[in-house]
């Protein structure tokens, strides 16, 4: 494999006495799309949050685009510049317009002039197909539109990797497709993506690899074709039996 953009090596994390991530090792190639699935409580969010430095870990290493995540705040800032994150619950600022949500970090974190930040944000709002909502507030648009704003907001920082944590789980069913379609577009443009989701149609369509986690461990990782046709472990079979 060419130099990976994300390297997670022998990662271990505890919440107090609870061993939440157990010896996780995972390399992500540039442009690779990884879907992470597994039962509730298996550590998927914790893993994703470690990669974006939202959580500390005790053992092992995480390297993103050559930057090793350590205890220093400088590397935390550097890594966050490289990594965009989209959460289940959108996390938009309700008192800011859609456009302001997308320009806040570029202006205040990156010191980009307001006009330039707005032009970039509009470009991404067009990409997620809601430029007409730029001057609305989050409460005035649908959940699916809010999640597309969250994607545009993350893209406005020009990340090299996009992390998604169950981006469609909080949506009404009729809004799931518009968000997945946006993510498929992004994948087709070559974005490196790590996506926690149980949308197995998305995994089949887009993923290069599906990673299955259970009880803090990676149980297996395989191409979607192999993963769905020939799951190797009893726990994977059980999980697929429950969700498919």
**Footprint on this chain of Mg ion (rule: CB under 5 A):** 45
Q: Contact positions toward ligand ADP, by CB under 6 A?
A: 15, 18, 20, 38, 40-46
**Of residues 15 and 108, the one with the C-beta less far from Mg ion:** 15
Q: What is the smallest separation between the CB atom of 44 and ligand ADP, expressed in angstroms?
A: 4
**Of residues 38 and 167, the one with the C-beta less far from ligand ADP:** 38
Choose from ligand ADP, Mg ion, none: what does 79 bind? Cβ within 5-8 Å by kind: none
**Of residues 6 and 98, the one with the C-beta less far from ligand ADP:** 6
**CA proximity to 156, closest of 123, 109, 133, 186:** 123
Q: What is the smallest separation between the CB atom of 54 and ligand ADP, expressed in angstroms?
A: 11
The alpha carbons of the chain give a radius of gyration, in whole angstroms, of: 18
Choose from Mg ion, ligand ADP, none: what does 201 bind? Cβ within 5-8 Å by kind: none
Q: What is the smallest separation between the CB atom of 19 and ligand ADP, expressed in angstroms?
A: 10
**Do the strands 6-15 and 59-64 form a parallel or antiparallel pair, or are they unpaired?**
antiparallel
Each residue of 8-29: b (16+ CB within 10 Å) or e? beebebeeeeebbbbebebebb
**Of residues 18 and 242, the one with the C-beta less far from ligand ADP:** 18
- Distances in Å between the Cα of 217 and the Cα atoms of 44, 153, 232 are 9, 31, 15
Calculate the CA 12 to chain-centre distance.
Answer: 20
Choose from ligand ADP, Mg ion, none: what does 40 bind? Cβ within 5-8 Å by kind: ligand ADP
Q: What is the smallest separation between the CB atom of 45 and Mg ion, expressed in angstroms?
A: 3
């Amino acid at each position: 494999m060419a130099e990976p953009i994300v390297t997670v090596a022998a990662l271990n994390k505890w919440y107090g006495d609870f061993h939440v991530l157990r010896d996780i090792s995972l390399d992500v190639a540039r442009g690779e799309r990884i879907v992470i699935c597994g039962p509730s409580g298996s550590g998927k969010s914790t893993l994703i949050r470690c990669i974006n430095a939202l959580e500390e870990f005790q053992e092992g290493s995480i390297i993103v685009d050559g930057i090793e995540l350590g205890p220093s705040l400088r590397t935390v800032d550097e890594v966050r510049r490289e990594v965009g994150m989209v959460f289940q619950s959108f996390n938009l600022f309700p008192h800011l317009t859609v456009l302001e949500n997308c320009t806040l970090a570029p202006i205040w974190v990156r010191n980009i002039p307001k006009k330039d930040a707005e032009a970039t944000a509009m470009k991404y709002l067009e990409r997620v197909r809601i430029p007409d909502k730029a001057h609305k507030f989050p409460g005035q648009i649908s959940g699916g539109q809010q999640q597309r704003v969250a994607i545009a907001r993350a893209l406005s920082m020009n990340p090299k990797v996009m992390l998604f944590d169950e981006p469609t789980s909080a949506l009404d069913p009729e809004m799931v497709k518009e968000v997945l379609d946006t993510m498929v577009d992004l994948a087709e443009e070559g974005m490196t993506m790590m996506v926690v989701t149980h949308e197995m149609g998305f995994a089949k369509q887009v993923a290069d690899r599906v990673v299955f986690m259970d009880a803090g461990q990676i149980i297996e990782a395989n191409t979607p074709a192999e993963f769905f046709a020939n799951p190797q472990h009893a726990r994977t079979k059980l999980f697929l039996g429950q969700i498919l």
